[in-house]
Amino acid sequence: MACNDIYYMNVALEQARLARLKGEVPVGAVLVSGTGKILSRAYNRPIGLNDPTAHAEILALRDGGALLGNYRLTDATLYVTLEPCVMCAGAMVLARIKRLVFAASDPKAGACGSVFNIPDCNRLNHRVAVTKGILAGESRALLQAFFRERRGNRPFA
């Protein structure tokens, strides 16, 4: 585990905490250039934006592409607090990011090794290197607390 991975994942966790404060599922993302510059930060906003595609990853990729003036983000690394879904993993392949680093796995909908493995699909034209588990405990605890609050502390709802 690289020190930089921990630093940037902590920045992503800050974004996830902002999502939680807004009543959104607490997922945060940070897009980092090959030189280590933060290009964009985002948190889940589908409720606030009335947009089912407003996942943290998508928003970070959009902002990063706009900043660079290019939809190809070939040297970038995306840090995300939860394993990306199919939509987000597909967007990463299309953006041709170099690397994905995520915290907690998503055994129900994860598309980066749990349910599907979009970043390493040999039928697609690009592969994304994946590192998983960086600060997974912190991310998982944040998600569990959010859903516990939403359920009103009932075990299942």
6 pLDDT more than 70 = yes
42 pLDDT more than 70 = yes
86 pLDDT more than 50 = yes
104 pLDDT more than 70 = yes
C-alpha 66/C-alpha 134 separation (Å) is: 27
User: How confident is residue 151, by pLDDT bands cut at 50, 70 and 90?
Assistant: confident
Average pLDDT of the residues in 101-110: 97
Catalytic residue IDs: 57
C-alpha 139/C-alpha 25 separation (Å) is: 11
Distances (CA, A) of 107 to 34, 85, 114, 115, 147: 30, 10, 5, 6, 16
Judge contact between 150 and 24, C-beta under 8 A: no
